[in-house]
Amino acid sequence: MRLATLRRSRHDAPLPGVHGVARVGPDVAQLVRRTRPGDIAVVEHLDLDAASARLLVAAKVGAVVNAAPSTSGRYPNLGPQVLVDAGVPVLDRIGPEIMRVVGDGDRLRLDGDTLFRGDDVVGRGDRLSIESVFLTTERARTGFGLQLEAFAANTVEHLRQERDLLLDGEGVPEVATALAGRPVVVVSGGHGWEDDLARLRPWMRTARPVLVGVDDGADALLSVGLQPDMIIGNPDLVTEGVLLCGAEVVVRADRDGRAPGLARAEQHGVRAVVFPVRGSSEDAALLLVHSHDASLIVGVGSHAPLAEFVDRGRADMAGTFLTRLKVGTRLVDATSVATVYRRPTPMWPLWVLVLLLLAGAVTVGVLAGDATPVGQWRESLVDAVTGLLGGEAR
């Protein structure tokens, strides 16, 4: 009986589609922290942005199932394009009930536009392709002007509510880390942070900047052997090892008094500074180091061309825009610093050359015969030195 079962299992063809373990969660940044290669990410992310999509690609997910429309048509977001270009299967618009039906750790199979758990169908959606993403994005471009108008209105409202902070710096907390007059590297866990840090290494060895990790950017620093001086953002988004590494912790709090992650920091005995601000953790980091008179702010993992800038979360887009206006030219991109930086020429080769020339001159002077011009000059020098020292000239 056992042999017959084995024989059938060997000859049974595997069911078609992408097989993987479900990782379920609305927040992509937190979900990818527990995702292994080949897992199927089940998210509810309206208008999937490029940064979140790159996190999913970097996590090597087997597929992405989105309960919400990956592109709603309000504006041409870039996330779906990033996923399909990377060859990640995407099942879109499967419906919000999938977040309740599927549990974290369930074994799933994605075949075409249908999602299975075992032999049961748990949902159907739209399977994205390069062509469908292109058409959806083109249609969304027609709403781009309206989105920019809404952005302008949100910017005015954000400025009204954060006027004292943005214009006068009121509410920025005091910190123990010395920032005045020093260059600061602000590391976010966004796309390309590894390349940015690699290019910055020569400059950092010379400039010795303050290293600030924003949320999981602190983990990024420690993962490449760099010790963060400050952690700014939500302590819930960093590992325990980073939280206890000795860096000063600044918790970004909401204006209503909520401070996500503060309880975790206190549970680990970490003294944290609270910074109430509307906007993202990255905005809080830039405003803090700018207000404390950092001489230069270098952004790592935070690129903001127009398309990606609008592609960010709509809630914090106005805050990001105004923060960058506030910081102004003091904020530069890591790529720019690495491009213009020229490592100082070391002086030791010059000193070695001088010593070699002196050694050669001394050797010639000592070994030259008495009848040669060099020998006669040597004898004259010896006589002069002897006379100065009170001896008798030969």
SS3 249: strand
Q: Is the dihedral of CA 152, 157, 160, 166 positive or negative?
A: negative
Q: Is the dihedral of CA 213, 215, 218, 221 positive or negative?
A: negative
Beta bridge partners of residue 64, listed in sequence order = 41, 90
- Residue written as tokens 């490592």? 343
Q: What residue type is 223 in one-letter code?
A: S
For residues 75 and 60, give the distance between their C-alpha atoms in angstroms, rounded to a whole number: 27
Beta carbons within 8 Å of 38's beta carbon, 6+ residues apart: 20, 21, 60, 61, 62
State residue 251's pLDDT score. Answer: 96
SS3 21: strand
Query: Are the beta carbons of 79 and 64 closer than 8 angstroms?
Result: no
Beta carbons within 8 Å of 202's beta carbon, 6+ residues apart: 338, 341, 343
Q: Is the dihedral of CA 208, 212, 218, 220 positive or negative?
A: negative
- Order of strands, sheet of 296-300, starting from the edge strand that comes earlier in the sequence: 272-276, 248-253, 230-233, 210-214, 183-187, 296-300, 331-333
**CA torsion angle for 144, 145, 147, 150 (degrees, to 10)?**
170
| DSSP string computed for 168-208 | I-TTPPP-SS--TTSEEEEE-S-TTHHHHHHHHHHHHHHH-
Strand-pair category, 126-127 with 90-92: antiparallel
Query: Are the beta carbons of 49 and 311 closer than 8 angstroms?
Result: yes
Q: What is the token pair recorded at 80? A: 């779906």
Beta bridge partners of residue 231, listed in sequence order = 213, 249
- The pLDDT averaged over each successive group of 10 residues in the chain (394 residues) is 43 82 90 93 92 91 96 86 96 95 96 95 96 89 70 76 81 93 90 84 92 93 93 93 93 90 93 90 92 93 60 63 84 82 66 77 67 71 72 50
For residues 90 and 76, give the distance between their C-alpha atoms in angstroms, rounded to a whole number: 17
State residue 343's pLDDT score. Answer: 60
Measured N-to-C along each axis, helices 348-367 and 373-388 cross at an angle, to the nearest 10 degrees, of 100
Query: Are the beta carbons of 83 and 51 closer than 8 angstroms?
Result: no
Q: What is the token pair recorded at 67? A: 């309960």
Q: What is the token pair recorded at 359? A: 């050694």
Strand-pair category, 126-127 with 210-214: unpaired
Phi, psi dihedral angles at 52 (to 5 degrees): -65, -40
For residues 49 and 46, give the distance between their C-alpha atoms in angstroms, rounded to a whole number: 9
| DSSP string computed for 79-114 | HHHHHHHTT--EEE---TTHHHHSPTT-EEEEETTE
Exposure string for 133-149, b = 16+ CB within 10 A, e = fewer = beebbeebeeeeeebee
For residues 247 and 326, give the distance between their C-alpha atoms in angstroms, rounded to a whole number: 26
